[in-house]
Amino acid sequence: MEPVPTDTRGRRKAVCGESYDPATDKEAIPEAPPKSAELRENLLRIASENVVFMGLDDRQMKEVVDHLAERIVKAGEVIVKQGDPGDYFYIIDSGKFEVTVNGATVNSYDGKGSFGELALYYDQPRVATVTAATDGKMWQIDRAMFRRLVLRKAHELRQEYDELISSVPILESLSPNERLVLCDALIPRLYKNGDIIIKQGEAADGMYFLEQGEVTVTVKAKDGKEEQVSTLSRGSYFGELSLLSKQPRAATVIAKGSVRTAFLHVATFERLLGKCVDVMRRNIPHYEAQIIKIFGSKESVEGLR
């Protein structure tokens, strides 16, 4: 319903408005209202389709959806009024709603939809009036809670990534500012047991840092023989070989139990990790030695030339 900023999918979005410092906010966030798994999934789907939420990572989205509060409305009730200050975002669960601008109907909702999203980011007047045409139910969250959830989670994530980076030897040469930039560029990716994270022979789109859990690395020879070559745990990284060699993936990496990774896109790999590339290249002979020990020669494996 409202105009929205340019899509920033894949990047963490800054929240505008009043000053808020998550590092100094020690107050406990109120417990989230109880919701069924089906309701949470439906609310998550609706929220994720809104451009305003596309910059949030999975954990931020989960926090926001969990803290949506139920609101029962009656026919004729004005939910938001044109020109009034706005500080709530709404997701429609049931009921019909009419949208008017200067008294003229410009839109309507019937049992689904969302509105008021810009109120979460900007302190500006409502651009339209929304009135309940029938009794209904909605889910809402205010700007103050949204900011606390999103910014605090982003702050916690940055701290987690800084700790992770500290455990990766090849990143020791990064300056504090470079570490900060890398933290903000990393994208959380979660996997369950048996998920294939990268597959041998496929094009590379980035590299991964293993934050939690274990993964197994397997390699298939040209004759079809497949062998496990290693198991990786927290602080390890993988996927960099293809970025360095400009070749398809040389191995398959599979989640062993629940796994959480920090993904770095190929477009930012060399820009952020240029000074670490030489260290990564020095590790290639060790990897090739493992392949030769198992398969006899690296020429036997697709992707190693």
pLDDT in tens, 263-279: 999 888 877 777 677 66
- CA 205, distance to chain mean position in Å, is 16
Residue 170, SS3 per DSSP: helix
Domain end (from 91, 114, 147): 147
pLDDT of residue 187: 87
Domain end (from 93, 113, 147): 147
pLDDT in tens, 3-44: 333 333 344 444 445 566 777 777 777 888 888 999 988 888
Q: Which are the contacts of 62, defined by CB distance < 8 A and separation ≥ 6? A: 44
Nearest to 256 by CA among 208, 302, 191, 184: 191
> Binding site, residues?
117, 126, 240, 249
Q: Which are the contacts of 58, defined by CB distance < 8 A and separation ≥ 6? A: 188, 190
Question: Is residue 64 a contact partner of residue 150, using CB atoms and an 8 Å limit?
Answer: yes
Q: Are residues 186 and 276 in the same domain?
A: yes
pLDDT of residue 8: 35
pLDDT for residue 98 is more than 70: yes
Question: Is residue 14 a contact partner of residue 155, using CB atoms and an 8 Å limit?
Answer: no
Is residue 90 one of the residues assigned to a domain? yes
Residue 231, SS3 per DSSP: strand
pLDDT in tens, 165-182: 888 887 887 888 888 888
pLDDT in tens, 222-239: 777 888 989 999 989 999
Q: Are residues 184 and 89 in the same domain?
A: no
Sign of CA dihedral 228, 229, 231, 234: negative
Q: How far apart are CA 230 and CA 212, in angstroms?
A: 17
pLDDT in tens, 198-211: 999 999 999 999 99
Range of the domain at 289: 167-300
> Binding site for 3',5'-cyclic AMP, residues?
117, 126, 240, 249
pLDDT for residue 294 is more than 90: no
Per the prediction, the chain carries an average pLDDT of 81
pLDDT in tens, 140-155: 988 888 878 777 777 8
Question: Is residue 304 a contact partner of residue 250, using CB atoms and an 8 Å limit?
Answer: yes
Q: Are residues 143 and 189 in the same domain?
A: no
Q: Are residues 282 and 190 in the same domain?
A: yes
Number of domains observed in the structure of the chain? 2
Q: Which residue has the tokens 């669960």?
A: 93
CATH number at residue 111: 2.60.120.10
